[in-house]
Chain A
């Protein structure tokens, strides 16, 4: 579903050049639930932005759903984001003056779905997220967990193939974080590929695969089976301490 070959990204700020990604090689299959970890500055957010077509890479090949993403103009990128991708952000990124239902329906608005139809679909997704009673509330009237569930509903409404989550639990307490992770796992069971950037081990541990970034390259890539073993080793090491 997502294939990255030798991806490079350099930010130029003034005269300084910051080489953030230095040849990323990753292949994520359909339906995988993957977390990306790494210390701050390791390039994990940059990687997510490139995968999410919110930013462009300088070098290397990026295949999304079998298509080579290269020199893509903004119109095309917007259409891909709309159809293929769903985003969940740390700061929720809801539109403050639109109510919950309108926020969820927004992606369908850009697919030119009629107002009645998109609001009906939005209500279905709100129901799924347990937010039906909050449909006409503004985001400012919701709690952090509710906001994030709202954002997930918005990400799901266009039936994307990939959900990209950037620190989805970063602004939530640990209990709400777990609830949100439950929802994301539920979504993943429907076959939607999921890429979660996080620095919380608890969160990463609930995914099937962890990609460790360090200084712009993939340092470790730990898969499902190994993950369990890894987890156990960790557990043992904690217990033996």
Chain B
């Protein structure tokens, strides 16, 4: 069978043209189905992108543990006691919990005075943290220049800093190279070794990231007289394939033991479980996605039923014609193919238009949002990925085949002589 068969296509166009209004309404059912599916899928992705955009490149198998007040008295200590993590904890955790991939201790709370950062005439107020190199593995930043804190900085207590882009913009002239320059932080000079940008959108957590100055943890403890206290708690990423929740529990068990905390005292830790939150997100969006497909396919199905309905009428109208064709030698298969081809053509064209307009609308919304700055943490970059569009199109063609097949089988089920006598 040839694909380009002028006679066949002529017949298809002729039948479709003969009943323009009917063709239009039939096609509209399919068009609307696929249009809605595309717009809904795009909106779903917009919601999801906005939600996940707030995570940046944060490793999702992570937990964050901070000390809090104890809530149960234990081993002679009263409840409501304040304690803190220290360098020894860090060492022990790394030794004893093999499931830890990255452990990032942090010091905070120093140099939080107003205008804590000074450079020449310029002054600013920024978030200053003492960190380990692991921080950039757990919550990676995009480096414009230079590097993050490294192992040597930690062991040699170097006075170096890696700064966010907002810090650079505030403290430097335009086009000035910050690397090798000094910033006075809380009265102490630090040499800048790196400049980074957040992976997150500005209105979705990026602004916060870009206002941070990272210093080596050891240097901050020494320079600002913090002793061995890890005041900012731990960020922990589990080994691949290991649950971060489980690692979190192991870490807590060790910390309980080392700080005399009651085994049942959950409130002694302030733990944020990113893994769990992420899984909940995943479930939510998978649910939304599933719902969209169900509703979308339902709408599409209604359109396809419409096509099938019309094809039944078309076949009925053309019974005599098919009878003539069969009398002069058309096999049932040829008749079936003709009807199915017509139905597939109708659904595919209508579906393609729906798909194009749906994608077009999403692009328009996306463009309008980025132009007006309405790209928010609620909705961002609505679009349909190529695979989903192809899936929808394949679905269309298959449904077109089915829509045509049932009437087509009816067309050849009656005897040719009965078809010939049909008026």
A residues lining the B interface (CB < 8 Å) = 49, 52, 54-56, 74-75, 78-79, 81-83, 87, 89, 93-97, 102, 106-107, 109-111, 115, 154, 158
Contacts and interface: CB of A to CB of B under 8 A. Distances in A.
Contacts of B334: 110
A82 B417 contact: no
Contacts of B7: 102, 109, 115
A97 B329 contact: no
Nearest to B421: A91
B21 interface: no
Interface centre among A54, A106, A115, A154, by most B CB within 10 Å?
A: A54
Interface string B407-420: 00000100111001
Nearest to A154: B328
A110 B14 CA distance: 20
B329 A107 contact: yes
Contacts of B114: none
SS class of chain B's interface: helix, strand, loop or mixed?
A: helix
Given A79-B329, A94-B324, A110-B330, 4 more contacts: A54-B415, A54-B420, A74-B332, A78-B331
B325 interface: yes
Chain B, interface size: which category? 20 to 34
B411 to A, nearest CB: 12
Contacts of B332: 74-75, 78
Nearest to B321: A95
B113 interface: no
Given A93-B420, A115-B7, A110 B328 contact: yes
A28 B326 CA distance: 25
A24 to B, nearest CB: 17
Contacts of A115: 6-7
Contacts of A75: 331-333
A188 B324 CA distance: 23
B390 interface: no
A189 to B, nearest CB: 23
Given A54-B417, A75-B333, A89-B420, A81 B328 contact: yes
Contacts of A106: 325, 328
B378 interface: no
A109 B6 CA distance: 11
Contacts of B14: 97
Contacts of A94: 324
A79 B420 contact: no
A87 B420 CA distance: 12
A231 to B, nearest CB: 33
Nearest to A86: B328
Contacts of A74: 326, 331-332, 412, 416
B324 A79 contact: no
A114 to B, nearest CB: 9
A193 B18 CA distance: 40
Interface centre among B7, B321, B327, B415, by most A CB within 10 Å?
A: B327
Contact of B330 (A56, A78, A93, A158): A78
Contact of A54 (B6, B327, B331): B327
A82 B415 contact: no
Given A95-B321, A102-B7, A110 B331 contact: yes
Nearest to A111: B329
Contact of B329 (A56, A89, A102, A110): A110
Interface in B314-339: 320-321, 323-334
A82 B334 CA distance: 13
Contact of A79 (B323, B331, B412): B331
Interface centre among B321, B329, B331, B416, by most A CB within 10 Å?
A: B329
Contact of A158 (B326, B329, B333): B329
A82 B331 CA distance: 9
B325 to A, nearest CB: 7
A104 to B, nearest CB: 10
Nearest to A75: B331
Contacts of A87: 327-328
